[in-house]
Structure 1
Amino acid sequence: MRDVIIIGAGPAGLQAALTLGRMHRTALLVDSGAYRNGTVRHMHNVIANDGTPPADFRRVAREQLDGYATVEALAGTVDQVESVDGGFGVTFEDGRTESASRLLLATGMADELPDIEGLASLWGLRAFSCPFCDGHEFAGRRIGLVGESSRFEHLVRLLRPIAAEIVVFDGEALEDGQRLSLQEAGAAIHPGRASAVAEHGDGVRVTAGEAVDVAGLFVATGPARQRAPFAAQLGLTMLPSGAIEIDDFGRTSRPGVWAAGDIAHRASLPGAMASVLAAAAAGQLAAASVVQELAG
């Protein structure tokens, strides 16, 4: 039985594996090949890796993990997690089973996109949700905003110093107070609902009763959902954000189970920051906590 199974090989899982490997703890890193930023061409706001393709980041991380004999990386998808004598067992979709005394979940969240034709194909390419990650690339240009109207004003205020103009679509669905607040924040209100979007030149054409061209889109998404069913299978305490509740060291409500990355956050925070650096830091902290517990 290994010390730890890490499910998820994004930045949180990769960093957790590195930390465990450096402490000579046996760890299995399970990589399903599905990542929240899987469609993104370049990462941003990651010091020393600003502009690096996420796939390159993962490749280098995996190459570095190869230098640690106690860490094994395995491609596959886990279907079931359950308690077994002395720890936890995981069952893969092909029927294979593995076990460890501790479990670290780093499977990440999945975004729920509004029902707009063509949006899914632009996601991570010309349509984004995080101004910290992707706003600068549209500096001095026109940005479109679609999605959950309750989050429009927050995004407008974040993007206002960056964009030349911010166009909020579906203005007719806004309440008078929302419309006034958005205008005061510096947004232009377009009355038409965005029914379709498509790449057009070096930007995006939005169909909203008429064609409107913008450099890119920001999507005010609703609460993200758990990408994997393991929190429910383990009966973990959840937060209103849809994330797993953890303590300051990444421990969940179930002894022996940690969670790291955007899948989890402390109850004192409104949500987890969808950030490569924040996820890696959470993975490092959770892994260090596991090591401390294993050391007794």
Structure 2
Amino acid sequence: MKQPDLLDVIILGGSYAGLSAAMALGRSLRNVLVIDSGKPCNEQTPHSQNFLTQDGKTPKEISTLAKSQVQEYETVQFYNGKAISAQKTDLGFEITADDGQKFNSKKLIVATGIIDEVPDIKGFKESWGVSLIHCPYCHGYEYRGRKTAIIANGDKAFHISSLVKNLTEEVTIITRGKAQFTDEQLEKLKNNQIEIIETEISELKNENGYVKSLVFEDGKEIDFEAVYGAFPFRQHSEIPKNLGCEFTEMGHIKTDLFQKTNVAGLFVCGDNSAMMRSVSNAVMTGNVAGAMVNMELVTECF
């Protein structure tokens, strides 16, 4: 199918959220271009859980099937590349890809996700998403009953520990510096037999990403089978910021209940705009974004 000079919608990001939005729009006969570089953040995660009909599949299996289904809709096309800039136009948006090619659309959906800023500690990057994990709902069942560490501090560490304690009795919080808990939190952690270690980590020993132990700067080494990490993140794409999107204090893109940003015609979905970080939530927010973009297009021309 020949690509029109002015598309209805461009979607940046072709993982779960972007594909879900594309399906909703394809089913409404919208001319859509999905721009994706094929490098998802969960590339080395061995399997995905807590998503009905796909529980235990690899992320690649899920996204491959999803893309094959979206490709059945003739008005949806794909472009292998990365969007490096965007600007507002009188008609909507102009997107420039990394090879210099430009595309124009009436509406824009950004589903580019986030990048985790994993500490530069030996063994961390190799284990991230495998046994160094971020979410008890996504991974906790598989590590139930295992000796578990939580690398976090303050309210975030307290919150994760309350969830993980339901899954295993052996929980240790590692703050990598002075612990920052209230007296009430410390009392609850003590009552639940959760140890706190303030020493910095020097290495995460692992085999193919599966943690064996944590080594501390004082030379102490402790065996663990799972490690939760609460690390900072940044947006994968600067395009929403450059277009004037507002952000939350945590760094997510602000949206209304329908995934619409403060920038007219710009919608976002998936991890870039949600605290709940899961495949199911990405699919849901993508579906909402696609439907709401279609509704906006309908309203403008009906």
Please give the per-residue CA displacement for 1:224-283, whole angstroms capped at 9, x wherever unaligned: 211110111101111111011111111110111101112115xxxxxx210111111111
Q: 2:255 aligns with which of 246, 259, 263?
A: 246
CA RMSD of aligned residues (A): 1.8
Partner Cα separation in structure 2 for residue 117 and residue 5 of structure 1: 39
Q: Cα distance, 1:184 vs. partner?
A: 2.8
Q: 1:219 aligns with which of 229, 235, 246?
A: 229
Q: Cα distance, 1:179 vs. partner?
A: 4.5
Partner Cα separation in structure 2 for residue 148 and residue 258 of structure 1: 33
Normalised to the residue count of structure 1, the TM-score between the two structures is 0.92
User: Quick one: which amino acid aligns to residue 215 of structure 2?
Assistant: T
Q: 2:194 aligns with which of 170, 187, 190?
A: 187
**Paired position in structure 1 for 2:289:** 286
Partner Cα separation in structure 1 for residue 197 and residue 252 of structure 2: 33
Partner Cα separation in structure 2 for residue 89 and residue 148 of structure 1: 42
Partner Cα separation in structure 2 for residue 45 and residue 159 of structure 1: 16
User: Quick one: which amino acid aligns to residue 100 of structure 2?
Assistant: G
Do the aligned partners of 2:148 and 2:224 also contact (CA within 8 Å) in 1?
yes
Q: 1:106 aligns with which of 111, 119, 136?
A: 111
Aligned in 2, Cα 1:69/1:230: closer, same or farther, shift over 3 Å? Answer: same
Partner Cα separation in structure 1 for residue 149 and residue 168 of structure 2: 10
Partner Cα separation in structure 2 for residue 148 and residue 97 of structure 1: 45
**Paired position in structure 1 for 2:268:** 259
- List runs of 5+ in structure 1 lacking aligned partners: 266-271
User: Quick one: which amino acid aligns to residue 210 of structure 1?
Assistant: K
**Paired position in structure 2 for 1:230:** 239
In the alignment, does 2:282 pair up with 1:275?
Answer: no
Aligned in 2, Cα 1:103/1:260: closer, same or farther, shift over 3 Å? Answer: same
Give matches, 1:74-89, under 5 Å. 74-89=79-94
Q: Cα distance, 1:24 vs. partner?
A: 0.6
Normalised to the residue count of structure 2, the TM-score between the two structures is 0.90
Partner Cα separation in structure 1 for residue 119 and residue 60 of structure 2: 26
| Percent of aligned pairs with the same amino acid | 30
Do the aligned partners of 1:171 and 1:189 also contact (CA within 8 Å) in 2?
no
Do the aligned partners of 1:160 and 1:186 also contact (CA within 8 Å) in 2?
no
User: Quick one: which amino acid aligns to residue 225 of structure 2?
Assistant: A
**Paired position in structure 2 for 1:34:** 39
Do the aligned partners of 1:146 and 1:220 also contact (CA within 8 Å) in 2?
yes
User: Quick one: which amino acid aligns to residue 259 of structure 1?
Assistant: V
**Aligned residue pairs, count:** 289
Please give the per-residue CA displacement for 1:58-108, whole angstroms capped at 9, x wherever unaligned: 111111122111000111011001012311010011101111000001001
Q: Cα distance, 1:40 vs. partner?
A: 0.7
Partner Cα separation in structure 1 for residue 162 and residue 155 of structure 2: 13
